[in-house]
Amino acid sequence: MRDWFRHRYQQALVNRLSLLDTAVSHRSALVFAPHEDDETLGCGGMILKKRAVGADVNVVFMTDGRQSHAHLIPTEQLVELRRQEAIAACRELGVAEADVSFLGFTDGYLSESIDTAVAQVLDCLRQTRPQEVFIPYFKEPPADHLATNRIVLAALETFGQPVTVYEYPIWFWHHWPWVSLNPSTQGERRAIFKNTLHTFFGGRLFTDFNCFLDIADVRAQKCTALEAHKTQMTSLMPEKGWLTLHDVADGDWLACFFMNQEIYRRFQLPRSKS
């Protein structure tokens, strides 16, 4: 039954959301990622397509990623590992290290540094002057994702230049029918059930998102870039219970990022006053 719904939802993506045309690939972009891996998961295909035609793409990581396996590895070592993984992943996406920035806010506590973060994001906007900006979906559950959205939008308001904003989903996918209601852990079952109700059993896919990009031709490259995030994709200490993205919802969640489409919520800023 769930597979039938997933298949129908994927068909609806193509039939009901607007297909982004090739012109989008040529526009300069500034991508904001709450953590090291969100850039590839959420819009890796978009980045690949832009870089393939020579468009300028800059990537900004908001936090240092220290919380992912903090109980298993020294903080400084984990932060440096995730930094180098992000640089490697961006390289696979076609983005040079010189175009990658790390703001370094503490993972999990971005919301406590709103004013400082807005100022730094504004500097990034003024330096790159992008035509498009990519940020997490405004109803993403994790606190750092929500904070990134609010920080960038606040900076864009001060920036004041015309820009197209694309919101990309990450943890939006953590609901039925994209993942099973019966994963291996009880805590995750509760989270999935809560998210399923919050998204109206996936209905928000069609009310909140309005466009998609066909990434079939770069999907394999996107997968390669994601593998560069080794701390997130490989169990470095299996004997100590090192969890990876493959473990989320028993692999169902990760599969959502290997589809032939990336979906977005697109809008223009400044918004029309009419």
Q: Does position 6 have pLDDT exceeding 70, yes or no?
A: yes
Whether 273 is covered by a domain: the verdict is no
Name the pLDDT band for 273 (thresholds 50, 70, 90): low
Whether 66 is covered by a domain: the verdict is yes
Whether 190 is covered by a domain: the verdict is yes
Average pLDDT over residues 12-19: 91
Name the pLDDT band for 271 (thresholds 50, 70, 90): confident
**CB–CB of 47/95 below 8 Å?**
yes
Whether 54 is covered by a domain: the verdict is yes
Whether 203 is covered by a domain: the verdict is yes
Whether 274 is covered by a domain: the verdict is no
pLDDT of residue 176: 95
CATH code, domain with 71:
3.40.50.10320
Average pLDDT over residues 70-88: 96
Name the pLDDT band for 1 (thresholds 50, 70, 90): confident
Average pLDDT over residues 110-120: 98
pLDDT of residue 239: 86
The number of domains in the chain is 1
Average pLDDT over residues 142-165: 97
Full residue range of the structural domain in which residue 237 is found: 2-268
Q: Which residues contact 268 (CB under 8 A, 6 or more apart)?
A: 162, 163, 164, 165
Whether 74 is covered by a domain: the verdict is yes
Average pLDDT over residues 109-134: 98
Whether 149 is covered by a domain: the verdict is yes
pLDDT digits (tens, 9 = 90+) for 193-229: 999 999 999 999 999 999 999 999 999 999 999 999 9
pLDDT of residue 3: 87
DSSP-assigned states of every residue in 185-252: SHHHHHHHHHHHHHTTTTTHHHHT--EEEE-TTTHHHHHHHHHT-HHHHS-S-GGGT---GGGGGGGH
Task: Count Cβ atoms within 10 A of the Cβ of residue 27 and give its class: 0-12 exposed, 13-18 middle, 19 or more buried.
Answer: middle
pLDDT digits (tens, 9 = 90+) for 155-164: 999 999 999 9
